[in-house]
Every structure is written in structure tokens, then in C-alpha cells.
A and B are shown apart, each in its own frame.
Chain A
Amino acid sequence: MTALTEGPQAGVAQQTLARRRRRADRLPYLLLLPCLVTIGVLLLWPLGQVVVMSFHRLDNVRQLRGDREWPWVGLDNYAQILGDPFFWTVLRNTVLFAVANVALTMILGTLVGLLLDRLGRRMAAFVASCVMLAWATPALTGTIVWKWIFDDTSGLVTWAFNALPDGLSVALFGRSDWTGYGWFNSPLLFFAILTLVVVWHSFPFVAVSVLAGLKSVPSELHEAARVDGAGPWRVFWRVTVPLLRPVFGILVVLSTIWDFKVFTQYYALAGGTQDRPTFMLSVYAYAEAFSPPPKYGLGAAIAVVLTLILLVVTGMYVRLVLRQEGEA
């Protein structure tokens, strides 16, 4: 029931208010209508449609326009994917990448959050501003800059490795001249650099959230633990971590969802979607669907698999948020 009707008892307004109360039952739904239509058409309908598409053989854009038939193939697309060893390579890439990135982002972000909490006021403000810069930078331009830093002729990293004493460089890596070294050529190095880029971009959010959580913890708790003789390590594990557990939970889930479907950074770093050995699910789905020859049905099936995996993670997220909002 609406709040507008709960005012003081002004007799004159009473009748109008009663009339409004009846109309008010419909009002919230009217207000929601544009939003429901938008979400329905632009998010929910496509979500259903991607499932439908995954059951058809679609390899021509004219089929999408509706000019040609959609041959029903049942589960063929799924059978084709799951029977292809390449899919399992892609899945392994995706999971390993997500796990490594979530772990590194959480660790670095938490450490920086703790650090910001302990620094002096001015130093903390300075470091936080720098951290914000990394967060604010668009994924695309951030990646392009990292690509420039790893450029094989004039990049900073190439220069730094060239600047190593030749003997040391040869002893460690077996080469002294790094000019022209392809930093992105081996899949492992490529993933390492991609991880660097993604962690650089995502640790600020974790750091700032952890910091906000720390500031909401009454400092008396820490003081009390210290007076009782607990060392900083014990204080962290016994006081800080339990109090921050809900924040950690949400951060891990959100990071997992984000790192499972990294696309922009991948696309910029790999220069497109041609480098199959480094494919991850989102890139794989896109490449199958849109690289000629287009295979929209197959791409849709991969997208469905990706969605199902993330659905499980989302379920955990919603439960966490609802528990904290406490208004369900």
C-alpha cells in the first residue's frame, strides 16, 4: 500500500486520499511497465532465444533475418561441442584462468585494502587515488597500454630485459637479446600477461570494498584483541576475516562471474579472435558464431553452456545478497 496515504488526519484531504488509495494499487505496476518491457525484450527474450537457437542448424545470416528455414537438429550442436576435445581445452583454459584471476585479485585486493587501512591519512588518500585510476581506466585502453608496455621492439618490458646483464639474462632465460621477442606467442605467457591486465583492472574494486568493510568494523574490537595479547596475524584471522566474511563472499562471486567471461581484454591483447590455443568460452562462442563461416547455432550452444555455469555462481550471489539485505 502506498505511503502517500498515511498522512495526518486532515479531514478535507481524506476523500481524495481514499480515491487515490484505490488507484494506487495499479500505479506501481504502471511505473514498472517500461522497465519490465525493456528487460523482457532486451535481456529475457534473448536469453530464451539463445537456447532455441542452440537446437537449430544456423549457418547463414538470412536464416536470422527470417528469409530461410531453421532446420531443427535437437541436441546435435551440444553433442558436437562436447565430443570435440577442443571444447575441453577451452573449458580448461576458462576455469584455470578464472580461478587464477579470482585468487590473485582477491589476495592483492585484500592486501591493498588492509594497507590502505593502516596508512596515514594523506598517504592513504594518495594511494587510493592511484588505485582508482586503474579501476577507472576502460578495459580496452588499459589493455592497449599494457600491449604497448610489452611491445617487442620499444616496449618497456623488452627494454628492461635487454638492460639485464647479458650473463645473468642468458643464465636465467637462455637469451640476452630480447628485441623482437614475441611476448604473446606462447599461450602460457599470453595468459600470464592477460592475467596481469585483468588483475590490474579488478583489484581496485576488491581493495576499496575491503577497506569500506574494515572501516565499518569497530576499532575497539581490534584494540581488545590486542590488549588480550593477540598478534597481528591472529587478529587478522580471528577478528577481521570473520567480520568481513559476507563482503568476501560477494566479492569472490562477482569476480568469478566477471573473470569467467573476459572478452574485451582478450580481444585487444590477442588482436581479434583467431588465436585458437588461447580461446576461452566467451571468445569461443563468439568466434564460432561470427567468424566466417558463421555457425550461430553452435555458438549459441557454447553460450548456453557458459550461461549454465554462471547460473550456478549467480545462485550463490543472490543468496548472499538476500541474506544481507534481510528484506526478502
Chain B
Amino acid sequence: MSVGRAPIRGGAGRAPTRAGGRGRRQARRLALNGAGLLVALFAAFPVYWMITTSLKPSGEIFASTPRPLPAEPTLAHYRQILTGNLIPGVTFADFFLNSVLVAVTTVLLSGLVALLAATAVARFRFKLRTSFLIMLLVVQMIPLEALVIPLFLMIQRLGLYNTLPSLILTYLGFSLPFAIWMLRGFVAAVPRELEEAAAIDGASRAQIFRRILFPLVAPGLVATSIFSFIIAWNELIFALTFINRQDRYTLPVAMTFFFGRDDTAWGPVMAASTLFTLPVIVFFLLVQRRMVAGLVAGAVKG
């Protein structure tokens, strides 16, 4: 992303008049850069520390004086969590797979439903359009934490307790409002003239949708999907509540269950955390600009 604008400088005709103006300006720049480095350190340090720790042999992790970098980097912790059985018959790979399955299915469903709704909102004027948009905003603000109990009831009634579809359903509901909110901007950005021209050439609605709208909205759909993916991938409470069979745990639950307790096998814990975190960081960096725009919803133009 491109960040920052040249700092406000005096115009050409406004050379520093006082002696030492140049020195002061340099001091100011130094202070700003120093503050910048501090912020960068604070923000990035935990991620750096997670990766570094995951690569240290246990002896170094528990050494009395911590090293900034591993003296003898090792992949032993990764090997341990990837090959070892966390409980008999269940490996890290199983949890990873459960998470991928839940997240990908959520993304596909939510992308499809959101695209239809976004098309309706962005392309048509109808009576309840504004009410629908307001409902989307309000619904996004429902504290999901308050819905654990009634959704647990629903999952019990549907006989979905202890199954991955219980989570897919739940995450679909959670990701949908924001996905529509985000996608409608992308649909609205597709020039209507293209569709009109196709309609006049005799293309059916389905053809217009498939041949014209869909390809042009695809990048937006990718961005939206990544957002839904991150929601599903990171979610903890519902996964904790709806799944009580260890071989069906998703990654976050497995993490808290096996690593987050009082034991301190920090090497494997950091290796697992790294494997859990990296896909999210990569995806996140791809879409973060659009997310800002979506969240502050028109307040920021630029």
C-alpha cells in the first residue's frame, strides 16, 4: 500500500529565517523517525517473537538470557506438531483440515449469497432497499457473543451438535452482512452501459450476470471471500461450544485445548501459532485497504 505524504515543508520562498532552523528541522525529523521505529517495534514485536521462538531449540527458549535470534535454528517444533499425535489418532493436520474445510465452505456459500444480494441492492431501486441496508448495518452490530446460547439451542434441535456444518452455518450468518456491504460497492462500480448493451443485443439476464457482471466483480468477490475466510478461520467461541469431539476440533479450539492451558511447551505452541497465523497475515495484507473502506463505510474518501 502507499502510505504517507511528503511532510508539510515550507514553500520555496520560506527558507528558515532563524539560525538553527535547519538543525531544529533535522531534530524534528529524527524524533519523528524515532517514534516511528518505536511504533513499528511495538506492533511487530509479538509476531517476530512468535516466529523466532518457534525456531529455537528448547534449551534456548528456556535459557536464562533470551536471544533475539536462534543461535541454532531448528524445525524440530514444527516436526513435532506436524507428525506427533496430540491425542491418539489425531494430529495437527486434522485440525488444520477441519479449519480449512469450515472456512472454505463458508467462503463459497457466503460469496454466492452475498453476490446475489449485492446485485439486488446495487442494481435495482425497490421499495425496501433502504430498510434492507439499515438492517444490514444493525445486524452487523448484534453481539455474536450473545447469540451463542440460542444458536446452541438451534444446533441441538437440528441435530448438528458435534458436526462441522454447525460451524459453517454459524459463520455464514456472521460473514454475510459485511460481505454484502463490501460487495455492493464492487457491483455498483461496474458500468451499467455494459449490461444495457448486452440486453439490447438480446442477452438473457442469466447471460448478463455470468458473462459481464461476474467477471468484472470477481476481484471484489475475492476480497470479500478473504474477509469471510478470516472470520471463519479465527473464530473461537462457537467452535468451542458446538464441537465436543476432539477429532472435530478446529484449529483455534485445538490451540486453546492443547496449548493454551498451564503447560508451557512454548516451542511447539509458537510453531503451531505461526502455522495458524501466517495464512491469515498473507490474506489480510491482500485486502486490508478495502476492509478499512468497508468498515468506516463512506466516512473516509481517499
In the complex, chain B residues 5-45 whose Cβ is within 8 Å of any chain A Cβ: 5-8, 11, 29, 32-33, 35-37, 39-44
Chain A, range 270-318, C-beta contacts under 8 Å to B: 271, 282, 285-286, 289-290, 296, 299-300, 303-304, 306-307, 310, 313-314, 317-318
User: Chain A nearest CB: distance from B218 CB in Å?
Assistant: 18
A208 to B292, CA, bound (A): 8
Inter-subunit contact B137/A204 (CB<8 Å): no
Q: Which A residues are CB-close (under 8 A) to B200?
A: 7-8, 10, 13
Question: Beyond A148-B270, A318-B134, is A121–B4 a contact (Cβ under 8 Å)?
Answer: yes
Please tell me the size bucket of the interface on B.
35 or more
A6 CB to nearest chain B CB (Å): 7
One of A85-93, A124-132, A170-178 contacting the partner: A124-132
Given contacts A34-B113, A159-B66, contact A112 B53 (CB under 8 A): no
Most buried by B among A64, A65, A254: A64
Interface size on A, residues (CB 8 A): 128
- The answer to whether the Cβ of B75 comes within 8 Å of any Cβ in the partner chain is no
Binary contact track A132-146/B, C-beta < 8 Å → 1, others 0:
111111111110111
Contact indicator B39/A127 (Cβ below 8 Å): yes
Q: A39-B139, A124-B4, A140-B236 are in contact. Are A250 and B113 (CB under 8 A)?
A: no
Is B74 an interface position by the 8 A CB rule?
no
B72 sits at the interface (CB 8 A): no
9-residue interface stretch from B76-84, B89-97, B151-159: B151-159
The answer to whether B43 and A2 have CB atoms under 8 Å apart is: no
- A residues less than 8 Å from B215 (CB atoms): none
The answer to whether A79 has its CB under 8 Å from any CB of chain B is no
Contact B36–A127 (Cβ < 8 Å) = yes
Q: Is the CB of A123 within 8 A of B33?
A: yes
Whether A212 pairs with B152 at a CB distance below 8 angstroms is no
Q: Which of B2, B43, B130 has its CB near the most chain A CB atoms (within 10 A)?
A: B43
Given known contacts A3-B195, A141-B50, A325-B297, is B120 in contact with A314 (CB within 8 Å)? no
Tell me which residues across on chain A come within 8 A of B112, comparing CB atoms: 34
Decide if B296 touches A247 in the complex (CB within 8 Å).
yes
**In whole angstroms, how far apart are the Cα atoms of A151 and B270 in the complex?**
13
In the complex, what's the smallest C-beta–C-beta distance from A3 to chain B, in angstroms? 5
Q: Is A2's CB under 8 angstroms from B46's CB? A: no
Q: Among residues 145 to 181 in chain B, which have CB atoms less than 8 Å away from a CB atom of chain A?
A: 145-154, 156-157, 169-170, 172-174, 176-177, 180
A46 interface residue per 8 A CB criterion: yes
Query: Out of A125, A132, A317, which one reaches B285, CB within 8 Å?
Result: A132
Inter-chain CA distance A282–B241, complex, in Å, is: 14
Q: Is the beta-carbon distance between A156 and B66 smaller than 8 angstroms?
A: yes
A7-B200, A131-B40, A149-B49 known; A304+B1 contact, CB < 8 A: no
Residues on B with beta carbons closer than 8 Å to the beta carbon of A16: 202
Are B297 and A321 in contact, CB atoms less than 8 angstroms apart? yes
Among the 9-residue stretches A23-31, A97-105, A187-195, the one with 4 or more Cβ atoms under 8 Å from chain B is A23-31
A58–B287 Cα distance when bound, in Å, is 43
Contact A3 B192 (CB under 8 A): yes
Which residues of A lie under 8 Å from residue B230 when comparing CB positions?
138
Task: Assess A140 versus B252: contact at CB under 8 Å? Given A115-B36, A131-B40, A263-B145.
Answer: yes
Q: Please pick, from B1, B35, B237, the residue contacting A128 in the complex, using a CB distance under 8 A.
A: B1
User: A138–B5 Cα gap in the complex (Å)?
Assistant: 30
Nearest CB of chain A from residue B263's CB, rounded to whole Å? 10
- Nearest-CB distance from A303 to chain B (Å)? 4
Q: Are B125 and A1 in contact (CB under 8 A)?
A: yes
CB pair B46–A146 under 8 Å, yes or no, is: yes
B301 touches which of A5, A46, A133, A216 (Cβ 8 Å): A216
Known: A117-B4, A125-B4. A205 touches B66 (CB 8 A): no
Which residues of chain B are near A249, meaning CB under 8 Å?
299
Q: Determine the distance from Cα of A277 to Cα of B197 in the docked complex, in whole angstroms.
A: 66
**In the complex, which residues of chain B have a beta carbon less than 8 angstroms from the beta carbon of A135?**
284, 288
| B-contacting residues, A9-45, CB 8 Å | 10, 13, 16-17, 20, 24-25, 27-29, 31-32, 34-35, 38-39, 41-45
Closest 7 CB pairs of A and B: A42-B173, A124-B4, A216-B302, A136-B284, A46-B150, A31-B120, A303-B146
| Inter-chain pairs besides A47-B150, A282-B143, 5 sampled, C-beta below 8 Å | A3-B192, A39-B177, A138-B276, A140-B236, A318-B134
- A/B interface sample: 30 pairs, CB < 8 A: A7-B196, A7-B199, A7-B200, A27-B124, A28-B124, A35-B176, A46-B151, A64-B152, A115-B39, A118-B7, A119-B32, A119-B36, A124-B4, A124-B36, A126-B36, A130-B43, A130-B44, A133-B43, A136-B288, A138-B233, A144-B260, A145-B50, A146-B46, A149-B46, A153-B264, A223-B11, A260-B143, A304-B146, A317-B137, A328-B130
